[in-house]
């Protein structure tokens, strides 16, 4: 029954309800709601129905059991404001999502012992940049061209991409997470961020997975940013596009590079500065211009967010092969039977 209490708390927080507000819906005191959530009081069948009706969920949602894996959250990137119950809720959601994905991988009999991602030694910034070049070479990605679909490439080499719903904006201060769980490498991020931020976040988290940083005095976040920057904007490609040294840059050049390489203009000018293609003065000048135009918050020509179809595809495969039931498939995907059938176009081959 401990799982029921956890589910009650998780659903209440997702509904953005305080204990007092939940108590008003349930006609009970806030302390009483808290005792149910802590497992100090076990709800009977009638009370479960009352909770389900109050939260507008199914009773089964309150009875779900997750075999949550052990996670370290050592590469968990967040801002200071994300703490308390929201942080606790996010970590629980992540563990449940990971548990579901690992179950689907196991049911599909996908071998995970081949998912050993090559590590690259990193003792300084140059090593971080070289690691990005080596990564491209190892997976036959040209260092003179953009990566068009980063998610697809990483999934093909065995890295699972998991997206978290940003319910009511609760998790906006979460930046990303990478971890190896049960020998499976994972990258976790929010599902409602713009394409530029999404791709850089994925590349940064990939850095956490592949960089072998043994020097504790080294700033790991900075090294991962270096890795991500060179992975998405290789030095040779940037020089080919912009030249070795520039006194001025046109706005059109920045927009064109953004569309081709699917990175923000802000990231591009920073890359130009760190490669000494533009001066610190020009970099600051462009930044001031971007701020005055509101580009710090919303750049023109937003990049389309990349999509991951792997988890959903694997669930549909399990269901059509009668390995899992339709209800189980819907539970894993968090959708209704009608929505599931619509995805299948109400037809089977």
> Rounded to whole angstroms, what are the CA distances from 108 to 112, 166, 319?
11, 28, 11
CATH of the domain at 20: 1.10.260.40
Range of the domain at 331: 310-343
Q: What is the 3-state secondary structure (H, E, C) of 270-324?
A: HHHHHCCCCCHHHHHHHHHHHHHHCCCCCCCCCCCCCCCCHHHHHHHHHHHCCCC
Is 305 contained in some domain? no
Same domain, 202 and 85: yes
If asked whether residues 9 and 102 sit together in one domain, one would say no
Residue 276 lies in a domain: no
Do 57 and 81 fall within a single domain? no
Find all residues with CB under 8 Å of 185, minimum gap 6, and list them: 115, 117, 158, 159, 160, 178, 179, 209
The pLDDT of residue 51 is above 60? yes
Residue 129 in any domain: the answer is yes
Final residue in a domain of this structure, among 63, 90, 112: 63
| Interval 110-145: pLDDT, tens | 876 666 789 999 999 999 999 999 999 999 999 899
Give per-residue pLDDT as tens, 315-349.
999 999 999 999 999 989 988 899 999 988 877 77
Instruction: Let me know whether 102 and 222 are in one domain.
Output: yes
How many structural domains does the chain have? 3
What is the reported pTM? 0.89
Domain finish residue from 179, 200, 232:
232
CB within 8 Å of 140: residues ≥ 6 apart? none
């Amino acid at each position: 029954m401990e799982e029921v209490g956890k589910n009650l708390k998780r659903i209440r927080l997702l509904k953005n309800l305080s204990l007092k507000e939940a108590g008003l819906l349930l006609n009970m005191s806030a302390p009483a709601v808290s005792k149910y959530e802590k497992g100090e009081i076990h709800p009977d069948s009638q009370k479960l129905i009352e909770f389900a009706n109050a939260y507008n969920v199914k009773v089964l949602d309150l009875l779900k059991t997750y075999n949550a894996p052990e996670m370290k959250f050592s590469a968990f990137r967040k801002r200071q404001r994300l703490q308390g119950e929201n942080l606790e809720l996010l970590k629980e959601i992540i563990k449940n999502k990971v548990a579901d994905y690992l179950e689907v991988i196991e049911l599909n009999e996908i071998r995970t012992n081949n998912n050993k991602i090559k590590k690259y030694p990193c003792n300084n910034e140059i090593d971080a940049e070289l690691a990005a070049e080596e990564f491209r070479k190892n997976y036959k990605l040209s260092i003179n061209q953009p990566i068009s679909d980063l998610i697809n490439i990483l999934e093909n080499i065995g890295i699972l991409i998991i997206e978290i719903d940003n319910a009511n904006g609760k998790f906006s201060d979460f930046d990303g997470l990478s971890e190896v769980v049960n020998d499976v490498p994972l990258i976790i991020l929010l599902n409602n961020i713009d394409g530029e931020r999404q791709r850089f976040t994925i590349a940064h988290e990939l850095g956490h997975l592949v960089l072998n940083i043994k020097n504790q005095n080294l700033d790991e976040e900075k090294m991962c940013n270096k890795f991500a920057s060179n992975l998405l904007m290789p030095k040779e490609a940037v020089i080919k596009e912009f030249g070795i040294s520039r006194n001025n840059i046109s706005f059109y050049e920045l927009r064109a590079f953004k569309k081709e390489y699917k990175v923000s203009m802000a990231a591009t000018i920073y890359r130009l500065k760190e490669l000494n293609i533009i001066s610190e003065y020009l970099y600051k000048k462009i930044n001031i211009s971007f701020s005055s135009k509101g580009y710090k918050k919303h750049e023109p020509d937003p990049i389309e967010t990349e999509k991951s179809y792997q988890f959903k595809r694997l669930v549909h495969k399990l269901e059509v092969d009668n390995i899992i039931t339709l209800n189980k498939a819907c539970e894993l995907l968090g959708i209704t039977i009608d929505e599931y059938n619509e995805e299948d176009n109400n037809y089977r081959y």
